[in-house]
Chain A
């Protein structure tokens, strides 16, 4: 009787266990290679990152939940992704550090005396209500685990605007004629739109009843103002990623522009001239997080919870801190930062030594102090949050037309 060699061979081969993999989509705000490596080492399974630009990420998350296990983006993206039914609620009883997550995420402000700011404060989108919508009434289940967050402003050239002075700068500088022809704005409609809106209100050109929930008329007025300024040549460009923004800076094309925290560590030759503003009107805040894809069950769901819990252990928080982002559960993050790092990034103290960024390069020189000061000071001055407002569909279409015109340099 002939021997079936293939069977023999199969039996003889060592058992091949396929390593399990967790697939994550997000943006370069949180999908950093160093984070992925640390997570894989701690969690004993593979992690795949797919880093996308903001709008693509949001669209993919909403329409193709089967292509990922975890979605990392921001609370303001949930209005779209959650309502598309792409995600499943997170059980806070399976989140070990849930009790230690701070009030900024859970209550919307660091103290009851602080305003929550206009717009999509995470608390307004956090809890899954009994009818399936997301809202701020505390519930056991949440839509997104709050993780990295920060407050943003704009950057300006001191040679053009001088120093801020004690009263701070103003968002009005982002549409100031001193910077005419050298202004750039981030192109994301839930973010750049509000940089422009804050500037228009601060300059006294327009006023909005609720800046984060504008009426169609208010949107039309803002877009008309921006279009007029565009035709007068105020804007030189728009940008999609922090790298794009840095490229504009290095080419000395901008005197005032939307800026995100990591870019201040990569100013290069502009280091002496380009400054992070502390606007007197307050900051535009954002809050990131991680959500579970609708299809997850069983083992995969267990792995996803492990990954979510890992995010709060502090290692990822330390990486986030080195690009200027804060983490929920800061005390855990503190364990993985040097004292100098903690004091500079979270405590607003003068840097006692040069500090390195996420890839080992120096991002803060000894003797510098973080613009706006300590965590508490900064997050106590939130004017508004990145927002997908009621008229988002209308506003985003108008905004995208404006951005295309800026990019194409139409007359």
Chain B
């Protein structure tokens, strides 16, 4: 009984310690931003890696999300004779929820894990220590460029995802199911608001998600035990923690922004 209680307390204190550690790490990262301007080229390389290289998966997934959403909506809405509203429902659900959330989950799986594994292996092979020996700040050279790259890449990826989803919805709805093209766009433009849907929905949410996912990925990489097993665990924890953080934050952000 007491053993179990103390174990539970251990888990609780450990998670609290992780969160506190992560918060302090964020402060270190932010403080290192001015120093990392020297390594602008490294930031661009990371942006290429987490952003440009993720485009394929983001575009394909966006296309299919839009297509399946339209297909489902069409069949439900045809019961009420409201198929003309399906374009606007696709747009609203993609802009407000699916665009930023699915992009962030894909981003955590595609880029977050890679960042954690890379930094973890750098630590395991003592590259971080070597940098410190050469008076290169590993936070400014390794951590901050990756964090900034994630911060910049996420909103852009989210926009690409949403545009592809609209395109997929248009493809299924207008080209295959025969919804009128004019109705599709007119209903969409009538309800989508730039400030609440595109700025607050797509851009702000994905900016927050990008910051959270990159922070967790970099933090897990830096705090992993420098063994091959530790790197494996850290990679798993990046995906799990990012997914929970994304979905929980999504609820909080929606409650505040709507």
A and B found bound together = no
Interface residues of B (CB under 8 A from A): none
Interface residues of A (CB under 8 A from B): none
